[in-house]
Structure 1
Amino acid sequence: MNYFLYFLLFFALVVVLSSFVTVRQGTIAVVTIFGKYQRQLRPGLNFKVPLIEVIHSRISIQNRSVELSFQAVTQDQANVYFKAMLLYSVLNHDEETIKNVAFKFVDSTNLMQALIRTIEGSIRAYVATQKQANVLAQRNEIVEHVKQQIDKVLESWGYHLQDLQLNDITFDEEIMRSMSRVVASNNLKAAAENEGQALLITKTKGAEADGNAIKIAAAAEREAAQLRGQGIALFRAEVAHGMTKAAQEMEQANLDISVILFTMWTESIKHFAENSQGNTIFLDGSTDAMNKTMKELMSVQMQKLSDQKG
């Protein structure tokens, strides 16, 4: 009798203790009665009917990640190798969503297999419509295509695709080498074009500088010539003024003005001798030649005097 009582007490204690269930933070417990969905238990300490309600599964509502590695073929028959990271989570805490998560698949292994194969199939279908040269530049387009294609499927399973990152996209070794050569040739082409532009700019600037230097030199020469001309004209004017004044004074003194012309003649010969680059000066020293020269100088001087008087 005592043993039976101890058994009843032990059984009652087990029943009472099994009536309380602890659910960890970030998870939801699904309760069934005789195999049928009954309710869900939230994080914390919960009570369930002993021996009748059973914890069917505990569902994590935290984000989960998985790495993918697979191959696809482009439209032009090039092999593309992908390494990706998939981030997904339970869609929400609604009762219908939790029921889908708990009962759609036999276990988490089957869910993971279906999820991975669905994403790989979506990427392969997209890549098959693209050429090899376009795949690398369409990383974002591939991700958007996958999200649009599988979002509804995942929602029917009770999940949501948070993010898909294509961490690595590679090709066969031969294709990678050819792509490297293309990049290198494009870089050389761009460098040559930049060097050509730089040389053109340098030549243009040099030509502009030379043109400006020529303009400045021409302007300076023109100004110098003008100043020289003005100096010569001023010198000639002063000489004419001096000669006129000397001639007037000699005329008032009843002296022969041919003395002035003779002085100019001798001064000219002296100037030739001092500034000539040669060693010999040829002059016609005959009396006729001197008379002719004197008459010419006197006629020029008389013309100037008549012009001033007039």
Structure 2
Amino acid sequence: MSFFLIFLAVLVVLLILSSFITVQQGTLAVTTIFGKYNRIFHPGLNFKIPIIERVYKRISIQNRSVELEFQAITIDQANVYFKAMLLYAVWNQEEETIKNVAFKFMDERSFMQALVRTIEGSIRGFVATKRQAEVLGLRRDITEHVKEQIDKTLEEWGFHLLDLQMNDITFDEVIMKSMAQVVASNNLKAAAENEGQALLITKTKAAEADGNAIKIAAEAERQAAQLRGMGVALFREEVAKGMTMAAKEMQQANLDTSVILFSMWTEAIKHFSENSKGNVLFLDGSAEGMEHTMKQMMGMNKLMDPNNNKK
């Protein structure tokens, strides 16, 4: 009798212990009774019906990531190899969503196979309409196309696509070499065009600078010539004023103007000899030359004589 009581006590303890279940943070537990969905246990300590209620599946509600590798063919029959990173998570913690996650697929392997094949098919369908030369430039478009196509499907399965990144897009080795040659030739062409444009700009700027220098020099020469002309005019004006004043002074002193003219002529000769850059000063010292000089001075004397002007 005592043995039976001990057995019964142990059985009761085991039933009580089996009635409690612990669910880790970031996880939900789905239970069934006789194979039928019953309820969802949230993180923490939960009580379940002993024996008849069992945990069917534990579902992580944390973000999940998976790396994908697959191949596609363009419209011009070029093989394209993709490497992508997929980030997804359970859509929400509502009961219907968790039931879809728990019961849509037999196991995690089946779900991953369906997910990879769906993404692969979406990308292949998009790439099949594009040419090989366009694919590299359509990385963003491919990503947006896949997100648009697969997000609705994942929602039906109870998941949500968080991010999809195309980490690498490559081609066959022969195509890669030809693409590298095309890029290299385009770079050489662009470099030649840039060099030509730079040379053209340099020559244009040099021509503009030369033209501006010529304009500045011409303007400076014009201003210098104008100033020289003004200087000569002022000099002549001052000479005329000086000669007029000298004539008036000689008339007031009752002196012969020819004396002043001869003195001015000799002073001029002296000035030339002292300030001239040359070493020799040639003068006509012949009788004819002296007579010619005196006649010129007498003529100037008559022109400056006020009595002759009155006549």
Q: Which runs of 5+ in 1 are unaligned?
A: none
Relative distance call for 1:304 and 1:194 in structure 2 (3 A) is farther
Q: Secondary structure at the match of 2:50?
A: coil
The answer to whether the Cα contact below 8 Å between 2:284 and 2:290 also exists between their aligned partners in 1 is no
Aligned residue number for residue 169 of structure 2: 169
Which stretch of structure 1 is more off in the superposition, 299-308 or 201-210? 299-308
Aligned residue number for residue 101 of structure 1: 101
TM-aligned CA deviation for residue 69 of structure 1: 0.9
Q: Which runs of 5+ in 2 are unaligned?
A: none
Over the matched positions of the two proteins, sequence identity in percent amounts to: 67
Mapping of 1:1-310 within 5 angstroms?
1-247=1-247, 257-259=257-259, 275=276, 283=284, 285=286, 287=288, 291=291, 294-303=294-303, 305=305
User: Partners of 1:250 and 1:156 in 2: how far apart?
Assistant: 130
The answer to whether the Cα contact below 8 Å between 2:27 and 2:43 also exists between their aligned partners in 1 is yes
User: Partners of 1:253 and 1:102 in 2: how far apart?
Assistant: 141
User: Partners of 1:74 and 1:272 in 2: how far apart?
Assistant: 99
Relative distance call for 1:273 and 1:4 in structure 2 (3 A) is closer
User: Partners of 1:276 and 1:51 in 2: how far apart?
Assistant: 134
TM-score by length of 2: 0.82
User: Partners of 1:19 and 1:236 in 2: how far apart?
Assistant: 132
Counterpart code for 1:41: F
Relative distance call for 1:236 and 1:88 in structure 2 (3 A) is closer
Relative distance call for 1:304 and 1:137 in structure 2 (3 A) is farther
User: Partners of 2:185 and 2:87 in 1: how far apart?
Assistant: 39
TM-aligned CA deviation for residue 259 of structure 1: 4.9
TM-aligned CA deviation for residue 212 of structure 1: 3.8
**CA RMSD, 1 decimal:** 3.3
User: Partners of 1:8 and 1:286 in 2: how far apart?
Assistant: 172
Counterpart code for 1:156: E
User: Partners of 1:252 and 1:8 in 2: how far apart?
Assistant: 167
The answer to whether the Cα contact below 8 Å between 1:261 and 1:294 also exists between their aligned partners in 2 is no
Counterpart code for 2:20: F
1:2-48 CA-partner distances (Å, limit 9, x unpaired) = 44444333332222221111122211111111111111211111112
User: Partners of 2:10 and 2:253 in 1: how far apart?
Assistant: 170
